[in-house]
């Protein structure tokens, strides 16, 4: 691995720090479009962290539109990295900041669902199906389930054909993921995973049917329920 990638101090928010180092390498041109990132195992050894941490870092880069992942192949720098937004990465947010950020996410997700129903391509449905298959919440793979959840939502943003949805929802989802991962011991993930998968399945089917109104309603319901699952009371208007 390039010598610019230094081992990360464990007191820092590890996935964000690792993602930042790769992002800088991409922006400087040290990693070029089409270049393959090292394997999870290689990065885990190089940075001295677990593979779960590496997966979270890769998810952040994907949310920011810097890389794409190909199942069974690896992660690659994309041809035209999306301009990205990174919100304050200070770790877990307080409840007020978390609520405000989630409130911002809701209308963007609803609109993205409607647009995705109109403009999606076959590969977007395939990527949604792959993310659905990875959503679990047990044992050491609990964080992977959260990442798969966010991958599902990012695919919807990509399917809109509007880079700004990818940028803004990617940045918001990244911060939400950090907080949920940090506090997941308080969430009964095993109990809600079946419900989440069902809601995602209904959303996926509405998008596949090219029904924008149904997709928007499915996303509105999912966002309202998601907020309740993390003890948020939000105003979600029709």
Closest among 71, 83, 68 to 37, alpha carbons compared:
68
Residues 152-199: tens digit of each pLDDT: 998 999 999 998 898 888 888 877 776 666 555 545 556 678 888 899
Q: Are residues 103 and 135 in the same domain?
A: yes
Q: According to the model, what pLDDT value does residue 3 have?
A: 43
CATH number at 27 reads 1.10.10.10
Q: Which of 48, 77, 106 is the last residue of a domain?
A: 77
Residue 135 and residue 150: Cα distance in Å, rounded? 10
Asked whether residue 90 is domain-assigned, the answer is: no
* φ/ψ (deg, to 5) at 97: -65, -40
Q: Are residues 104 and 219 in the same domain?
A: yes
Q: According to the model, what pLDDT value does residue 192 have?
A: 74
Q: Are residues 60 and 113 in the same domain?
A: no
Q: Are residues 176 and 221 in the same domain?
A: yes
Q: According to the model, what pLDDT value does residue 12 have?
A: 45
User: In 99-228, which ranges are E strands?
Assistant: none
- Structural contact between residues 177 and 56, judged by C-beta atoms closer than 8 angstroms: yes
Q: Are residues 40 and 111 in the same domain?
A: no
- Structural contact between residues 206 and 117, judged by C-beta atoms closer than 8 angstroms: yes
The whole domain housing 218 covers 95-229
Conformation bin of residue 77: beta by default, left when phi > 0, alpha when psi is -120 to 50: beta
Q: Which of 77, 112, 128 is the last residue of a domain?
A: 77
What's the predicted TM-score (pTM) here? Answer: 0.69
Q: Which of 23, 50, 77 is the last residue of a domain?
A: 77
Q: According to the model, what pLDDT value does residue 56 have?
A: 85
Q: Are residues 197 and 115 in the same domain?
A: yes
Q: Are residues 51 and 105 in the same domain?
A: no
CATH number at 114 reads 1.20.120.530
Q: Terminal CA-to-CA distance of the chain, rounded, Å? A: 50
Q: Which residue positions in the chain have pLDDT lower than 50?
A: 1-12, 138-139, 186
Q: Are residues 100 and 183 in the same domain?
A: yes
β-strands 67-70, 74-77: how paired?
antiparallel
Q: According to the model, what pLDDT value does residue 143 have?
A: 66
67 CB neighbour count, 10 Å cutoff: 25
Asked whether residue 146 is domain-assigned, the answer is: yes
Q: Are residues 115 and 73 in the same domain?
A: no
Q: According to the model, what pLDDT value does residue 60 have?
A: 81
Q: Are residues 39 and 129 in the same domain?
A: no
Asked whether residue 7 is domain-assigned, the answer is: no
Number of separate domains in the chain: 2
Residue 111 and residue 220: Cα distance in Å, rounded? 9
Residue 118 tokens read as 């109109």
Q: Are residues 72 and 176 in the same domain?
A: no
Q: According to the model, what pLDDT value does residue 142 have?
A: 59
Residue 190 and residue 219: Cα distance in Å, rounded? 22
């Amino acid at each position: 691995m390039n010598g610019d990638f230094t081992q990360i101090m464990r007191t820092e928010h590890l996935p964000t720090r690792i993602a930042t180092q790769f992002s800088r390498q991409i922006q400087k041109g040290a990693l070029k479009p089409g270049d393959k990132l090292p394997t999870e195992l290689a990065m885990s050894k190089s940075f001295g962290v677990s593979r779960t941490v590496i997966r979270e870092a890769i998810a952040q880069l994907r949310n920011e539109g810097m890389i794409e992942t190909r199942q069974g192949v690896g992660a690659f720098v994309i041809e035209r990295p999306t301009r990205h937004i990174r919100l304050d990465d200070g770790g877990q947010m307080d409840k007020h900041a978390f609520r405000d950020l989630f409130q911002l996410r809701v209308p963007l997700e609803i609109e993205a669902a409607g647009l995705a129903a109109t403009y999606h391509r076959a590969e977007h449905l395939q990527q949604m199906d792959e993310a659905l298959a990875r959503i679990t919440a047990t044992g050491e793979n609990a964080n992977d389930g959260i990442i798969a959840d966010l991958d599902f939502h990012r695919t919807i943003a990509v399917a809109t054909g509007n880079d700004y949805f990818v940028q803004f929802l990617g940045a918001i989802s990244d911060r939400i993921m950090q907080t949920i991962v940090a506090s997941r011991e308080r969430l009964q993930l095993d109990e809600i995973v079946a419900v989440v998968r069902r809601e995602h399945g209904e959303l996926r089917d509405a998008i596949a049917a090219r029904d924008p109104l149904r997709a928007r309603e499915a996303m509105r319901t999912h966002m309202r329920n998601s907020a309740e699952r993390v003890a948020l009371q939000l105003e979600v208007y029709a």
